[in-house]
Chain A
Amino acid sequence: MAEQVYFEDVEVGQPIPEIRKNCSTQQLVIWAGASGDFYQIHYDLNFAKRTGLDNLIVHGALKHAFLGQVLHDWVAPGGRIEKFGCQYRGMDYPDQDIVCGGVVTGKSVEGDRHVVELEVWTQNPSGQKTTPGTARVVLPSRG
Chain B
Amino acid sequence: MAESAAPSVVTDDMRAQLGVEGPETVSEVTTTGCRLFARAVGHGDAIFFDAEAARARGYRDVVAPPGFLGTPVYRPNAERAERAEGPPGEGIKIPYKRILNGGTTYEYFEPICAGDVITSRGKVTEYQERTGSIGPMLIVYRETTYRRADDTVVAKVYGNIIHY
Co-assembled chains A and B: yes
Q: Which residue of chain B has the shortest Cβ distance to A85 in the bound complex?
A: B105
- Cβ contact of B40, chosen from A27, A76, A86, cutoff 8 A: A27
Q: Are A64 and B40 touching (Cβ within 8 A)?
A: no
Docked CA distance A21–B33 (Å): 22
Q: How far is the CB of A30 from chain B (nearest CB, A)?
A: 4
- Cβ contact of A76, chosen from B37, B45, B67, B103, cutoff 8 A: B45
On chain B, the number of residues with a Cβ less than 8 Å from chain A's Cβ atoms is 31
Say yes or no for A33: interface residue by CB 8 A criterion. Answer: yes
Q: How far is the CB of A29 from chain B (nearest CB, A)?
A: 9
User: CB-CB < 8 A to A85: which residues of B?
Assistant: 103-106, 158
Say yes or no for B55: interface residue by CB 8 A criterion. Answer: no
Q: Are B36 and A65 touching (Cβ within 8 A)?
A: no
State the majority secondary structure of interface residues on A: helix
The 3 tightest CB contacts between A and B, nearest first, are A85-B105, A36-B72, A68-B66
Which residues of A are in contact with B by a Cβ distance under 8 Å?
1, 21, 27, 30-31, 33-36, 60-62, 64-69, 71-73, 76-77, 80-88, 133
Which residues of B are in contact with A by a Cβ distance under 8 Å?
33, 36-37, 39-45, 47, 57, 65-68, 71-74, 100-108, 111, 158
What are 23 inter-chain pairs, A to B, with CB distance below 8 A? A27-B42, A33-B36, A34-B36, A35-B40, A35-B72, A36-B71, A36-B74, A60-B104, A64-B104, A65-B37, A65-B67, A67-B66, A68-B65, A68-B106, A72-B43, A73-B44, A80-B108, A81-B66, A83-B108, A84-B66, A86-B103, A88-B101, A88-B102
